[in-house]
Structure 1
């Protein structure tokens, strides 16, 4: 079975002996992905469950900002569920419907996670720009509505391939890979729906960093006037370095994890004859790298939130105390 060579409807391959990649579900990239997911999935599930338990166990944390973090953890747990499905099937679904169900779950979970990251960033922006009226603008009810809308949009997009936006049963030969079952139009839409929120997240954190730097410079200037020279590296105070670390941690995790997948997918989309190795690497190694973000998110947001971090350390201390006694 061969793919249609029309570049608007399919991705072909010049280097494969058969002219396509559909019969190679046992390639080495899939094997590497399988074992990588076996190691990564428990980390995703455990870290996100721990944060959810921290949030559920403490009433003071039932606030709009922490609801958004809880929503992010739930989305990342869905990513973990998609990883489990991939481990079980090993991209060898017998039917196109089964393939689209699993890949649609992955698309839904990843898109929900990215949307939730954007919601958390917007919440921080409102907290900084409208600090005095934050409680008026951001209520628990509005946060809940925003979460439901974002999850609904992600779910709808994840279901579209199963509802008909796919390459068709006649082109499916048992290898369930991202770029082989989704048409270029869906891949392009996925690219836009992921890149726009990530770009917005980066812009928001760049703005927050610039605002923080203004306040830090004022504090440093006051300390110099009082004779308290701020200590630091490369002429930057400790506060400045802390601000840089925070922005790098949050924005860097998203960029490092998802940009390789998105950019390589775009390359495969616009290249008339994409090599099998590109298609296979996008659907295996780079997709796993994107999933790593779901393991990092709970750690990043616990480290950034002083209350959550304090509760986490207090919980660990209590557990150690009980074990010693």
Structure 2
């Protein structure tokens, strides 16, 4: 890059590199964006330390979500729609950690050995995983809104089929969003339209992603606000204190969800907006914290299973039972009686499942007006939002 910030190669040579899929095209775009400035000596050593921290964090995200996923699949006997939503959120967060791990391992000097298609695939898989996690949160909020605020009487098979269809739609939209640059929405050889943070991505595409994610956040807030108003109204009408405790518990859970989302995603939104609307010189000078900010967004995938899973007593029992069972199979004993805890968790889950069957059969014999109140009871029994 020369003093004026223009690319060192002419457009014809850039087009030849793009047509041949040469890795030099990636280097050319990074050089124009200013991302190569200062990549030498002590800073490279610092990047190695940071890369180690990011690898450890991504492994934590993967292991945490894998634990919850296996515990839910092996210990929870209930197959209500909430089960499928929890599995979907956990799976998307697990893939987010795996995609971020691959992104970190293929960064640094490995970046300039990648062909343009490989670079788009590396970044696109991370975008796709993050989008799938976010879409999963939106779908869960929407399903809870429909169940609690606009209940519709339908069979369990119909409900599960609809839930699975929408889960498939979430993944389809996430894949489309993440792979749009690979399909052609990019700025290859159009340097003036390129992002400074993601040098082969078009600023228009990044703005589109920011608008989509901001819309998702606003929609989640509206849906959970409506859910909370319904639960609070029911709690005020009920003379017993348990209903009010459920309303307060729901409020705490909703606040945790929104605060975690805003804290983890807010800095990334701000950084991307600054990259889109700021000058290239300003971006090259001040927008160098993307690694930490992106890591913070990925960290939301480690917070999600804590909020969505461990706020559910049934899922918490499943995780504790799975861990205790694994310890017993390995011949380990903790300071407490792990065997007793595992048996208690297993029996509690069994009692929960057995108690659900009489209620389901009882509901089937009731009138339609009673069934309209069913989702509020079923959701509150799970105690997760």
Aligned match of 2:319: 312
Aligned match of 1:188: 207
Contact 1:112 1:150 in 2 (8 A): yes
Distance 1:137 1:212 in 2: 26
Shift of 1:244: 3.0
Shift of 1:24: 3.6
TM-score (norm 1): 0.79
Distance 2:271 2:254 in 1: 25
Contact 2:96 2:126 in 1 (8 A): yes
Aligned match of 2:287: 279
Aligned match of 2:56: 39
Q: 1:33 to 1:112 in 2, by over 3 A?
A: farther
Which structure has more relative contact order (CA 8 Å, sep 6+)? It is 1
Aligned match of 2:35: 22
Aligned match of 2:161: 141
Q: 1:156 to 1:239 in 2, by over 3 A?
A: closer
Q: 1:278 to 1:68 in 2, by over 3 A?
A: farther
Distance 1:289 1:202 in 2: 21
Shift of 1:188: 0.7
Shift of 1:186: 0.6
Q: 1:303 to 1:137 in 2, by over 3 A?
A: same
Among candidates 218, 221, 224, match of residue 202 of structure 1: 221
Aligned match of 1:120: 140
Q: 1:39 to 1:203 in 2, by over 3 A?
A: same
Q: 1:97 to 1:210 in 2, by over 3 A?
A: same
Shift of 1:209: 2.1
Q: 1:32 to 1:267 in 2, by over 3 A?
A: farther
Aligned match of 1:66: 83
- Match of 1:303, SS state, is coil
Aligned match of 1:266: 273
Distance 1:253 1:134 in 2: 34
Shift of 1:138: 6.4
Aligned length: 296
Distance 1:33 1:179 in 2: 19
2:329 corresponds to 1:299: no
User: Between Structure 1 and Structure 2, whose CA radius of gyration is higher?
Assistant: 2
Distance 1:280 1:135 in 2: 53
Contact 1:127 1:134 in 2 (8 A): no
Contact 2:85 2:140 in 1 (8 A): yes
Aligned match of 1:8: none
**Residues 36-45 or 24-33, more deviating:** 24-33
Shift of 1:280: 2.4
TM-score (norm 2): 0.68
Among candidates 216, 231, 235, match of residue 216 of structure 1: 235
2:258 corresponds to 1:251: yes
Q: 1:277 to 1:81 in 2, by over 3 A?
A: farther
Contact 2:59 2:101 in 1 (8 A): no
Q: 1:216 to 1:102 in 2, by over 3 A?
A: same
Among candidates 92, 95, 106, match of residue 78 of structure 1: 95
Distance 1:276 1:88 in 2: 24
Q: 1:168 to 1:81 in 2, by over 3 A?
A: same
